[in-house]
A and B are shown apart, each in its own frame.
Chain A
Amino acid sequence: MSAANKRPLSPFMIGPYYKPQMTSVLSITHRATGAGLVVGTLLLVYWLAAAAVGPKAYEHAQAVLGSMLGQLFLFLWTWALFYHLANGIRHLFWDAGYGFELPDATKSGWAVVWSSIILTFLCWLIAAP
């Protein structure tokens, strides 16, 4: 085709060409948690639909979500939710034009990591049966 297609392209971001950095890892984690949360909404829909069907189905859903595997999924889902929420707010500040300097982006990145972990454990401590 034309000359434009023969120009060299920079390699894909994942691979041996770029060293992973804190900011780039957080960026891809934002996508990963977003996609994970979409899968997790299946549990939310299941829970609400069961409650709409009736008491029996609701009790069953509560038992499924309360099982070891159910609790593990919900725990990971809680962290993904807090991570995506906190990093989403970080993105909104960037969209508004704040926090682009590297030291600021690194600081806000660590704030996202730690706040998502702390809030996840806090929630599970409060909601513990």
Chain B
Amino acid sequence: MSIRTPLAHVRGLGAAKDGTHHWWLQRVTSIALVPLVLWFIISLLGVSHADYETFQHWLSNPFRAGLMVALLAVLFYHASLGMQVIYEDYVRPEGAKVIAVLATQFVLFLLGAISIVAVLKIALA
């Protein structure tokens, strides 16, 4: 039994995690996603029923391919940040939480890589 107060125990141990960095990146990615997602939805209205030739021609435009790559990169980053917060709030114990966060981040990174390579392949074909 220690007679030191709880505050004295934690004093000098430094910050618990990484402060507001995660929170801020979640906001930055969400602000970027507003115009990107609106562009994506409006574009899909036009190409959702397109045949292969039309779709490939549509995506071969460098502005559209660039916007698609930007959308995918920011989207998967935002998704990974968001899923991390959900796990941190609900998954116990600590070990399961860390595994869930890491597994989801690896899968989302891979999905982002696959979809970006796919866009580049179509755009540069």
Task: Identify the A interface with B (CB < 8 A).
Answer: 2-4, 31, 34-35, 37-38, 41-42, 44-45, 48-49, 51-52, 54-55, 58-59, 62, 78, 81, 85, 88-89, 91-92, 95, 123, 126-127, 129
- Whether A48 contacts B34 by the Cβ 8 Å rule is no
Contact between B111 and A52, CB atoms less than 8 A apart: no
Given known A2-B6, A51-B56, A127-B49, contact A41–B111 (CB-CB < 8 A): yes
Question: Given A2-B9, A123-B41, A38–B49 Cβ distance below 8 Å?
Answer: no
A-B contact pairs, 24 of them (CB 8 A): A2-B2, A2-B9, A3-B6, A31-B86, A38-B82, A38-B108, A42-B111, A45-B115, A45-B118, A48-B118, A48-B119, A51-B52, A51-B56, A52-B118, A52-B119, A52-B122, A78-B41, A88-B33, A91-B30, A92-B30, A92-B31, A123-B41, A127-B44, A129-B49
- Residues on B with beta carbons closer than 8 Å to the beta carbon of A126: 45
Q: Are the CB atoms of A38 and B83 closer together than 8 Å?
A: yes
Residue B74, interface by CB 8 Å = no
What is the chain A residue whose CB lies nearest that of B27? A95
Residue of A nearest to B2 (CB): A2
Secondary structure class of chain A's binding surface, majority of residues: helix
B residues near A54, Cβ cutoff 8 Å: 52
**A49 with B115: CB separation less than 8 A:** yes
State whether the Cβ of B70 lies closer than 8 Å to any Cβ in chain A: no
Are the C-beta atoms of A41 and B41 separated by less than 8 Å?
no
The residue from A2, A41, A51, A59 contacting B76, defined by CB atoms under 8 A apart: A41
Interface residue B101 (Cβ < 8 Å from any Cβ of A): no
B67 within 8 A of A: no
Q: Which 9 A-B pairs have the closest CB atoms?
A: A52-B118, A55-B52, A48-B118, A52-B121, A45-B115, A4-B6, A58-B52, A38-B79, A49-B118
Which residues between 21 and 55 of chain B lie within 8 Å of chain A, taking CB atoms?
27, 30-31, 33-34, 37-38, 41, 44-45, 48-49, 51-52, 55
